[in-house]
A and B are shown apart, each in its own frame.
Chain A
Amino acid sequence: MGLPQETLYEKKEDIALDEWFVPIEKKKGEAEAVVRPSLSYWQEAWRNLGKNKLALGALIFLILLIIMAIIGPILSPHSISEQKLINQNQPPSSEYWFGTDSLGRDVFSRTWYGARISLFVGIAAAVIDFLIGVAYGGLSGYKGGRVDHILMRIVEVLYGLPYLLIVILMSVVMGPGLGSIIIALSITGWVGMARIVRGQVLQIKNYEFILASKTFGAKTYRIIRKNLLPNTMGPIIVQMTLTVPSAIFAEAFLSFLGLGIQAPLTSWGVMADEGLSAILTGHWWRLFFPTLFISLTMFAFNVLGDGLQDALDPKLRGGK
Chain B
Amino acid sequence: MKSYYIKRFVSMLVTLWVIITITFFLMHFTPGSPFNDERTTNEAIQKNLEEQYHLDKPLIVQYGMYLKQIATFDFGISIKKSSQTVNEMIGRGFPVSFELGMVALVVAVISGITLGVIASLKHNGVIDYIAMTIAVIGISIPNFVLATMLIQQFAVNWKILPTATWSSWKHMILPTIALATSPTAIIARLTRTSMLEVLTQDYIKTAKAKGLSPFKIIVKHALRNALLPVVTLLGALAASILTGTFVIEKIFAIPGMGKYFVDSINNRDYPVIMGTTIFYSTILIIMLFLVDLAYGILDPRIKLQKKEG
Q: A52 CB to closest chain B CB, in angstroms? A: 13
The verdict on B1 contacting chain A, using a C-beta distance below 8 Å, is no
**Chain A 236-253, CB within 8 Å of chain B: the 1/0 string?**
000000000100010011
The number of chain B residues with a CB under 8 A from chain A is 45
The verdict on B29 contacting chain A, using a C-beta distance below 8 Å, is yes
A168 to B261, CA, bound (A): 10
**Chain B 78-118, CB within 8 Å of chain A: the 1/0 string?**
00000000000000000000000000000000000000000
A166 contacts which chain B residues (CB < 8 A)? 22
Does A298 lie within 8 Å of B139, measured CB to CB? yes
Which of B38-46, B142-150, B203-211, B224-232 lines the interface with chain A?
A: B142-150
In the complex, residue of chain B having the shortest beta-carbon distance to the beta carbon of A273: B144
Does B11 lie within 8 Å of A291, measured CB to CB? no
Tell me which of A156, A252, A275 contacts B142 (CB under 8 A).
A252
The verdict on A185 contacting chain B, using a C-beta distance below 8 Å, is no
Tell me which of B11, B156, B280, B284 contacts A280 (CB under 8 A).
B156
B250 contacts which chain A residues (CB < 8 A)? 257
Q: B88 CB to closest chain A CB, in angstroms? A: 21
Does B18 lie within 8 Å of A157, measured CB to CB? yes
Does A257 lie within 8 Å of B281, measured CB to CB? no
The verdict on B223 contacting chain A, using a C-beta distance below 8 Å, is no
Q: B129 CB to closest chain A CB, in angstroms? A: 10
The verdict on B140 contacting chain A, using a C-beta distance below 8 Å, is yes
A291 contacts which chain B residues (CB < 8 A)? 142, 145, 148-149
In the complex, residue of chain A having the shortest beta-carbon distance to the beta carbon of B163: A280
A298 to B23, CA, bound (A): 31
B219 contacts which chain A residues (CB < 8 A)? none
A170 contacts which chain B residues (CB < 8 A)? 26
The verdict on B69 contacting chain A, using a C-beta distance below 8 Å, is no
Tell me which of A156, A168, A276, A296 contacts B265 (CB under 8 A).
A168
Does B142 lie within 8 Å of A298, measured CB to CB? yes
Given contacts A257-B247, A272-B144, A299-B136, contact A165 B277 (CB under 8 A): yes
Most chain-A CB neighbours within 10 Å: which of B19, B144, B280?
A: B144
Q: A219 CB to closest chain B CB, in angstroms? A: 30
Does B247 lie within 8 Å of A253, measured CB to CB? yes
A291 to B281, CA, bound (A): 30
Q: A93 CB to closest chain B CB, in angstroms? A: 22
Does B142 lie within 8 Å of A253, measured CB to CB? yes
**Chain B 51-87, CB within 8 Å of chain A: the 1/0 string?**
0000000000000000000000000000000000000
In the complex, residue of chain A having the shortest beta-carbon distance to the beta carbon of B277: A165
Residues 153-177 (chain B) with a chain A CB within 8 angstroms: 156, 163
Does A169 lie within 8 Å of B140, measured CB to CB? no
Does A160 lie within 8 Å of B15, measured CB to CB? yes
A160 contacts which chain B residues (CB < 8 A)? 11-12, 15, 284-285, 288
B12 contacts which chain A residues (CB < 8 A)? 160
Residues 253-293 (chain B) with a chain A CB within 8 angstroms: 262, 265-266, 273, 277, 280-281, 284-285, 288
Which of B194-202, B238-246, B295-303 lines the interface with chain A?
A: B238-246
Q: What DSSP secondary structure best describes chain B's contact surface? A: helix
Tell me which of B11, B137, B262 contacts A257 (CB under 8 A).
B262
The verdict on A203 contacting chain B, using a C-beta distance below 8 Å, is no
List the count of A-B residue pairs having beta carbons below 8 Å apart. Answer: 106
B27 contacts which chain A residues (CB < 8 A)? 169, 173
Tell me which of B29, B148, B243 contacts A165 (CB under 8 A).
B243
Given contacts A161-B18, A259-B265, contact A169 B148 (CB under 8 A): no
In the complex, residue of chain B having the shortest beta-carbon distance to the beta carbon of A163: B239
B239 contacts which chain A residues (CB < 8 A)? 162-164
A287 to B251, CA, bound (A): 14
A230 to B265, CA, bound (A): 44
Q: B143 CB to closest chain A CB, in angstroms? A: 8
Does A253 lie within 8 Å of B280, measured CB to CB? no
Given contacts A162-B280, A279-B156, A291-B148, contact A299 B242 (CB under 8 A): no
Residues 272-320 (chain A) with a chain B CB within 8 angstroms: 272, 275-276, 279-280, 284, 287, 291, 294-296, 298-299, 302-303, 306
Given contacts A276-B251, A291-B145, contact A302 B139 (CB under 8 A): yes
Given contacts A157-B18, A165-B277, A259-B265, contact A173 B26 (CB under 8 A): yes
The verdict on A153 contacting chain B, using a C-beta distance below 8 Å, is yes
Does B265 lie within 8 Å of A303, measured CB to CB? no
Does A299 lie within 8 Å of B140, measured CB to CB? yes
The verdict on A256 contacting chain B, using a C-beta distance below 8 Å, is yes
Q: B153 CB to closest chain A CB, in angstroms? A: 10
Q: B301 CB to closest chain A CB, in angstroms? A: 19
Does A295 lie within 8 Å of B281, measured CB to CB? no
In the complex, residue of chain A having the shortest beta-carbon distance to the beta carbon of B265: A172
The verdict on B30 contacting chain A, using a C-beta distance below 8 Å, is yes
B288 contacts which chain A residues (CB < 8 A)? 160
Does A303 lie within 8 Å of B15, measured CB to CB? no
The verdict on B294 contacting chain A, using a C-beta distance below 8 Å, is no
Q: A51 CB to closest chain B CB, in angstroms? A: 15
A189 to B26, CA, bound (A): 18
The verdict on B218 contacting chain A, using a C-beta distance below 8 Å, is no
Sample (26) of A-B pairs whose CB atoms are under 8 Å apart:
A157-B11, A157-B15, A157-B18, A160-B285, A161-B19, A162-B239, A164-B243, A169-B22, A169-B273, A172-B26, A172-B30, A172-B265, A173-B27, A252-B142, A253-B144, A259-B265, A272-B145, A279-B151, A280-B156, A280-B163, A295-B137, A295-B142, A296-B140, A298-B140, A299-B136, A302-B139
- Chain A residues with CB under 8 Å of chain B are 153, 156-157, 160-166, 168-170, 172-173, 175, 245, 249, 252-253, 256-259, 272, 275-276, 279-280, 284, 287, 291, 294-296, 298-299, 302-303, 306
